[in-house]
Structure 1
Amino acid sequence: MELVAEPSILFLDEPTSGLDSVTSEEVIELLKVIALAGKLTIVMVIHQPQYDIFQQFDNVILMEAGGRIAYQGPVQEAKMFFDSIGYDNCTGLTNPADYYLKCVDTCLVENEETRKATGEQKKTVADLWEEERKQMSNAPESFPEEKFRPVVRPTMIMQFLYMLRRFMLIAIRMRTDFATDLALVVLCGCMLGILFIEASLSRWNQANAFSGLVVGLTGMITALRPLGTDETRPIFWRESSSGINRLAYFLSITVGHFPVMVLYPVFFLGPYYFLTSPRASYGDMYIVLIFTYWAVLGVGYLISIILHPDNSKMGTIVVAMFCTAMSGGTPTTICTFQTYTFIGPLAYTIAYSKWYSEAMFELEANAYHPIMAFNVQYIAGFQDYSLTNFAFCLLMLLAIGVVSRVIAFLFLIFTHRGEQK
């Protein structure tokens, strides 16, 4: 992903280590294409490159034991130098890279043996190269200024598309884990459906409280993965330090979780709707769940950034339980202190479960026959719910998702700034 920021130079440490010869050659060929297409300088450390790989290099540095340079220059001119110092046995059947390194090591061994036998110090390949370098009258002392180009980074939109593509590719590779998550969501829907099988309106708020808890936990725990683990958080820091647009990074995570917002409600609502047999339509309940997952994913991002990875999962449980307590049941008892302070109404307002439960209750209550209007109004009054507030409930869920994401992004860019430089 560092290539997204279009750096002027790329350092690689043994990019072919552990690869077979065919794959190693493919990697070097790809790097050659990238270097030429992006006018990018690539510097790499590599051991024992095969002939085809060695010929791909423009310039090479051979190092002697102790870190001294034994040769530095174009690959094609290396043979001329070694021929000039007496190592002219590199035939067409010999890999030049292996031969040159063997010459460097052989010269060192012979020098050490001579020093021990006679006390004389012979010149090593590094010494001979130093003399050769000093005699090069045509070697430029500095690079021409026109060879350097200004760094032009891709636009935020292009970076967003690159990172979204990566996010989706990772999700596809981890499809088994995603399938397991969906199976667990189905299991939660089955368990709650059995617990509230054919629930009446008087029990509907309890069903909403439990289902809101399930939605909160499944959504927030999913939201922890991109930024809330010991493996993923350092990736963001490293890529941020390389110049990646942090807003594009964050937006790619948000958009990449759209399949979660679409599929989790389907798999949860399938068994839950069948078993509880509500009067409300499946489509309306599905819309409420999409808005609720939007909200809880945003809250999950915020938790993953604020809390340490070791504490983030516990944080999601606490937040989900808090929101469930604010979701209704006996709201007047919960928020009795609202007459004394702003904390009560604020907590009641920012709890996603409150708006989820009220929206679900309104859908179910309005589906009853008008002859039941008195009982419906009584239950709604006890829960402190309105029967004409559906659109506002969805708007509040949307707002919770937006505000939590904005706060999460601000924490993302203004905390751990040392790791992002």
Structure 2
Amino acid sequence: MTRTTSAPRAQDEGPDLEMNTVKSAHLANDIVNSFGWADLNVVVKDRKTSAPLSILSNSSGFARAGEMLAIMGPSGSGKTTLLNALAHRVAAAGATTTGDILVNGQKVSLQTLRDLSSYVEQEDALIGSLTVRETMMFGARLSLPSTTSKKEAFERVDNLIASFGLQSQAHTIVGTPIKKGLSGGQKKRLGIASRLVTNPKILFLDEPTSGLDSALSLEVCSYIKNIARKYKLVIVASIHQPSSATFQQFDHLCLMSGGRTCYFGPVSGATRYFGRTGYPIPPETNSAEFFLDLINTDLDKNGEIVRRTDDICKSWDTAEERTLVSQAILKSREGSAGGMSHYAVDRPSRLMVPVVLLRRSWIKSYRDIMAYGIRIAMYLGLAILMGTVFLRFQAEQKYVQPYINAIFFGGAFMSFMAVAYVPAFLEDLSTFRQERANGLVGPLAFMISNFIIGLPFLFVIALLFSVVAYWLTNFRADASTFFMWVLWLFLDLLAAESLVVFVSSIFNVFVVALAVTAFANGLWMCVDGFLVPMDILNAFWKYVFHYIDYQAYVFQGMMVNQFQHGVYECDGTSAAGYQCSYPSDINGEGKFRGTDILRQFSITTGLQGTWVGITIGIIAGYRILAYLALVLRK
């Protein structure tokens, strides 16, 4: 349904949390006035003892629209665990999460919270070859209703670009390893802006200042604060060691250690609270650093900090400020007016999503030299190498084995070099995972667009390679045989790229995906019927792997394509006698047929159509398995 908004509610004055309590949470206009959580717990199994281990204990908090809440603590304090739990994400592997997550005082489902919110992860998942404006526009088209006009979408995008101070970089690319683009701070701002284009009411930020110096951190947080106030957003961000100026940009602080709350309340009230409980801040000290040092048990040598942190957490449990948090949550519950459970947003049609992804992938593919440009150059280099090494073979017996070697080399190494696609696919996969977590893209749309976009590029690679290598090597010189060769190379590349997609969908770490893909290609080379003919191949490798080896069908298809209609001359002369390595009914004429060569490799003619069908089935199988891998990796 279409969202409507009411007039912005005036900001309450004063630092006390009690003043920040939402007195009434009317939902008739579907606007988020408050966000809170009560008694949130996350429990996992201890790896050594398998006993329940609490990594987040009785956490409660509250924030209003237009405010920024900082979740702060030393490493391992539970910041990301809390942030993920609040966003209805998996808090930790095998974790059990209990407690209430409230919007306008009402418990909300995963789908409702996903419709209301957006999550910006610590690591950027921006596509480097897109410009700032294109990144924003594709984000808009993946999230805004299909009824939204282009004019409205462009207006929203341009307003956000202006709000984040990126007008002069609107047509600048994000940046690739080869071509420089935005600075670190600009990328952070773009990452946040690209999530805001989806029109969320709650924004979760996982360490938005990581990797930035103090000046850039302040710049990013200032922009976020202005946006929060302008659009009445609830901003919940985890931060680590902010500068004093950056720390003061936040309205409220949730200080954590060991999964427990040490303080929750206004940033301006934290100094007064710790001074009252016996931990005054020394003059001219960064308060954020002081709080972190106070509870950082990693620096503990004699147990003093552990005891101090335990005392601080216990003091919080009985503090007046803790009571104010509970009262704020209670009042928001009492003021809720119903209707949140029926909240929904309009999304683009299911057909629109793969179309948008296809368009985005097309731009990336022809701009980003890492995606296909380097591979085209690499395959052309391989074609020149192959064509000049296997140069101008003739229809003579001494050239038969080199012909076969060339066929194997062309198919096997074209397939093997598809590992170059791993980094480009992993970049796409990283973007997909973040968009999927925000409810924008599903595995099916991602897989469909990824498959379709590769078809023209892979065909061009197969054609260019063949134009060079086929004629230099002097394979059979007729059009039908040439284009059949191109078809086999195209299927070979498509299967190899599908293998990359499948492996990378399971092992989404570059080195691991590269190693597993290379190993699989090595295996396919060993059992494809060239290195060891089928009639002597070990039964285990033959029946377990050979028949699912796409390289085997490509090799057989190319062999038949070259030899089935050919006649070759034996060594020697009629006077000295012919030396024919391949038994044939025409040996007496000093010749043998190409089918006699195929017989040596146990290759039967007339099955090319079947082999094409099986290869297409293997390609489909890899893609389906990759899709299932993404479905299972929620």
Equivalent residue for 1:284? 484
Q: Which moved more, 1:153-162 or 1:143-152?
A: 143-152
Cα gap change, 1:350/1:216 in structure 2, threshold over 3 Å: closer, same or farther? same
SS at 1:329 equivalent = coil
Work out whether residues 335 and 345 of structure 1, in 8 Å CA contact, stay in contact via their aligned partners in 2. Answer: no
Q: Which residue of 2 aligns with 1:127?
A: none
Runs of at least 5 residues in structure 2 that lack an aligned partner in the other structure: 1-112, 123-159, 169-185, 206-219, 236-249, 254-262, 273-326, 570-585
Q: Note if 1:317 corresponds to 2:518.
A: yes
1:222 aligns with 2:421: yes
DSSP-derived class of the 2:593 partner: helix
Contact 1:167 1:256 in 2 (8 A): yes
Equivalent residue, structure 2, for 1:295: 495
Q: Is the 8 A contact 2:120 2:192 kept in 1?
A: no
Aligned residue for 1:350?
A: 548
| Consecutive unaligned residues in structure 1, runs of 5 or more | 71-103, 109-133
What TM-score results when the alignment is normalised by the length of structure 1? 0.66
Match of 1:10 in 2: 118
Structure 2: how far apart are the matches of 1:380 and 1:271?
25
2:374 to 180, 183, 207: 180
- The residue type paired with residue 355 of structure 1 is Y
**Is the Cα–Cα contact under 8 Å of residues 223 and 300 in structure 1 kept in the other structure?**
yes
- Counterpart residue identity of residue 542, structure 2: G
Distance in 2 separating the partners of 1:324 and 1:29: 48
> Which structure has the highest helix share of the two?
1
Report what 2:597 is aligned to.
379
| Residue among 231, 247, 262 paired with 2:444 | 247
- 8 Å contact 1:303–1:315 — kept in the other structure? yes
Deviation at 1:187, TM superposition (A): 0.5
User: What is the letter of the counterpart of residue 116 of structure 2?
Assistant: S
- Residue 434 of structure 2: aligned partner: 238
Structure having the higher strand fraction is 2
Cα offsets for 1:165-207 (capped at 9, x unmatched) = 3322322331365322211100101111122112346132211
Q: Deviations over 1:220-246 (max 9, x none)?
A: 43256314xxx5554444333333312
**How many equivalent pairs are there?**
348
How much has 1:256 moved relative to structure 2?
Answer: 2.2
In structure 1, how many angstroms separate the alpha carbons of the residues matched to 2:506 and 2:228?
48
Are residues 233 and 250 of structure 1, via their aligned partners in 2, closer, same or farther at CA, if it must alter by over 3 Å? Answer: same
TM-score scaled by length of structure 2: 0.46
Q: Which of 382, 385, 389 is equivalent to 2:607?
A: 389
Aligned twin of 2:388: 194
Deviation at 1:266, TM superposition (A): 1.8
Larger deviation: 5-14 or 379-388? 5-14
Q: Pick the aligned partner of 2:623 from 394, 399, 405.
A: 405
From the superposition, tell whether residues 221 and 180 of structure 1 become closer, same or farther in structure 2 (CA, over 3 Å): closer
Superposed displacement of residue 58, structure 1: 5.0
Distance in 2, matches of 1:302 and 1:379, equals 36
Match of 1:206 in 2: 405
- 2: CA distance between counterparts of 1:31 and 1:276? 53
Cα distance in 2 for residues equivalent to 1:27 and 1:216: 36
CA distance in 1, matches of 2:536, 2:350: 44
Q: State how far apart, in whole Å, the 2-side matches of 1:306 and 1:296 are.
A: 16
Question: In the TM superposition, what is the alpha-carbon distance from 1:410 to its structure 2 partner?
Answer: 2.3
Q: Specify the code of the residue in structure 1 equivalent to 2:602.
A: D
Alpha-carbon distance between aligned partners in 1 of 2:410 and 2:343, rounded to the nearest angstrom: 57
Instruction: Report matched runs for 1:96-175 at 5 Å.
Output: 142=335, 144-146=337-339, 149-151=343-345, 153-175=347-369
The amino acid across from 1:10 in the alignment is S
Alpha-carbon RMSD across the aligned residues, in angstroms, is 4.7
Question: Take 2:533 and 2:194, find their aligned partners in 1: how far apart are those partners?
Answer: 66
Shift of 1:323: 1.8
In 2, distance between residues paired with 1:277 and 1:300? 32
AA paired with 1:272?
Answer: A
SS at match of 1:10: strand
Q: Post-superposition shift, 1:56?
A: 4.7
Alpha-carbon distance, 1:210 to partner? 0.7
